[in-house]
Amino acid sequence: MVIDQGMNIGEVKALAEQLKAAAGKFDAIVQMLNAKVGSTSWVGADATKFKNDWWPAHRARLQQLRTDLEGFAQSALNNATAQEGASDANEGGAAGIVAPVPIVSGDTSGTPQDVLPSNGTIPGGQGTTVLPAGRDWHEVQKGYDAWATGRFADPNESQYQCTGWANYRWAELGYSGTSISGHGGQMAGNAPGDVSGTPSLHAMASYSSGSYGHVMIVEEVMDGGNKIRVSEMNAGIDRGNPKIWDDADLVATADEYRDTTTYTKGADGVFRSNGRALSFAAFPGN
């Protein structure tokens, strides 16, 4: 029998190791460049712009590339391992695609944590993991639906709303306290702990808009705290009739999940979404 598709497991594992090694080199490169930029005697307006604007932006890109390479490496390794197991059990049967695993925030060893188990609890502690951007909304919906079943008398009250997402995401991360109440603009203020204008990993990020506002979860803090990436539901996708959060739109759908939106701190030190200041409630323990 001629096999015209499949995987050379050894080659894919070797590729994973090469990608991990390449990712690891970025730490030394960024550290060296950061030291060079910081120690230069160049002064003046152009020097200030170079050091404070140009370099941080490019440093963030290098750091993101490192994270992406690690994710690609682990995805390749997961697929090779799954194929190896399937081949042993089924004499060469094809294995399903395995998604990239979460990358541990601040971990420079190049060793990601395990894949999220079915209950959504992250191994190794609460609120310590950066998930790669671009989670498939179908998979997000499965976890959300399992969590939401039986929670709401009126599904439209929170189903796929920003508030439902914020509570689910914290639960997924290991939070076991009382669900946070209120509309989107209130949730950060109603969460346990202090509220501030400073983001932290997995903080709830709220802004007020009319009577309701919106809430998101900080999935990544970048560029020394000057830039964040958030996840959210009821993201207001324009289908010719854009959502207006001020009107408490109760019709939300799972495909409105997004986790790629980024916000950059303003010159005044404030994070804003369309001119509305964000307030952050830290994930308990962070």
- The pLDDT of residue 244: 43
State residue 250's pLDDT score.
Answer: 54
pLDDT for residue 237? 55
User: 69, 23 in Cβ contact below 8 A?
Assistant: yes
pLDDT score recorded for residue 113: 30
Sign of the CA dihedral with 112 first, then 115, 117, and 120 last: positive
Splitting the chain (286 residues) into consecutive groups of 10 residues, what average pLDDT does each group show?
A: 58 80 74 78 80 75 70 68 55 37 36 32 46 84 86 68 91 86 91 90 88 88 92 70 45 85 93 91 87
Give the pLDDT of residue 93. 36
Domain architecture of the chain: domains with CATH: 9-90 (1.10.287), 116-281 (3.90.1720.10)
Cα–Cα distance measured from residue 129 to residue 113, given in angstroms and rounded to the nearest whole number: 8
Decide if 200 contacts 230 (C-beta within 8 A). Answer: no
Phi-psi region for residue 221, left (φ > 0), alpha (ψ -120 to 50) or beta? beta
**What is the structure's pLDDT at 203?**
95
Q: Is the pTM of this model over 0.85?
A: no
The pLDDT value given to residue 78: 67
